[in-house]
Each structure stands twice: as structure tokens, then as C-alpha cells.
């Protein structure tokens, strides 16, 4: 039961922060969901760092991984919202904006995870 509570608490905090960032940034650009984009990249970097620290130093316990990686990052990142907004861009905007949003989100997300893992190796 403790594991479920840790995921629940982390997910709630991540979701609140995602909502706040998206609410404040998505309204600035009508052709690009900047808040969702940044949340996805930051979430990828955070999970890369968390897993990197865990693999290199064993500093992070299973409970901390559940709270931070599974819970917080899971609630913070917004892949389902990303997919919905990609669909909306495709319907409402140009192929260019849709392609940029999809391509940059995926490429930079993977790079952010790789950078987080690399950064932990260097520490």
C-alpha cells in the first residue's frame, strides 16, 4: 500500500506542476504548445538524471524511485496530452508546425534523457 501512496503523491505533485506550466505558457503561442513541449523535455531530463543517479551511485531507494520517477515524472510528463495536441495541430494548423512539434519533442526528449544519464556518469 505504501508504494501506491508514493506514486499517488508524486503523480499529484507532478500533475499540478504540469498544469501550472502549461496554463502559463501554452497561451503565448497559438501554433505551438510551448508549455507541454517544455514539460516533456524537462520530464525526460529529470527521469534521465534520477535513473542515472540510481544506476551509478545507488543513492535513490526503490521508494524514492516510485515517488520521483514513477509518480512525479509520470504525472509531470504529458505524453497523452502531447498526442492530443499533435492531433489538434494537424487538424488546425500547418504540417510544418505539426512536424516541428512532433520531431523536436521526440528528438529533444531522447537527447534530454541521454544527457541526464551522461551527466550522472560525469558526477
> Binding-site residues for Na(+), please?
74, 77
Please report the sign of the dihedral spanned by the C-alpha atoms of residue 75, residue 76, residue 80, residue 84.
positive
Residues making up the binding site: 74, 77
Alpha-carbon dihedral of residues 30, 19, 45, 100, nearest 10 degrees?
A: -20
Q: Which of 50, 73, 62, 66 is nearest to 7 (CA)?
A: 66
Neighbours of 68 (CB within 10 A): 24
Rg over CA atoms, the chain: 16
CA 36 to chain centre: 8
Amino acid at each position: 500500500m505504501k508504494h501506491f501512496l508514493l506514486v499517488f503523491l508524486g503523480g499529484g505533485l507532478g500533475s499540478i506542476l504540469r498544469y501550472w506550466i502549461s496554463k502559463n505558457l501554452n497561451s503565448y503561442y497559438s501554433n505551438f504548445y510551448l508549455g507541454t513541449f517544455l514539460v516533456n523535455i524537462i520530464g525526460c531530463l529529470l527521469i534521465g538524471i534520477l535513473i542515472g543517479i540510481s544506476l551509478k551511485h545507488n543513492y535513490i531507494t526503490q521508494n524514492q524511485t516510485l515517488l520521483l520517477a514513477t509518480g512525479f515524472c509520470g504525472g509531470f510528463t504529458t505524453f497523452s496530452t502531447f498526442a492530443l495536441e499533435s492531433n489538434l495541430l494537424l487538424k488546425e494548423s500547418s504540417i510544418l508546425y505539426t512536424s516541428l512539434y512532433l520531431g523536436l519533442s521526440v528528438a529533444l526528449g531522447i537527447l534530454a534523457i541521454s544527457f541526464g544519464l551522461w551527466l550522472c556518469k560525469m558526477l
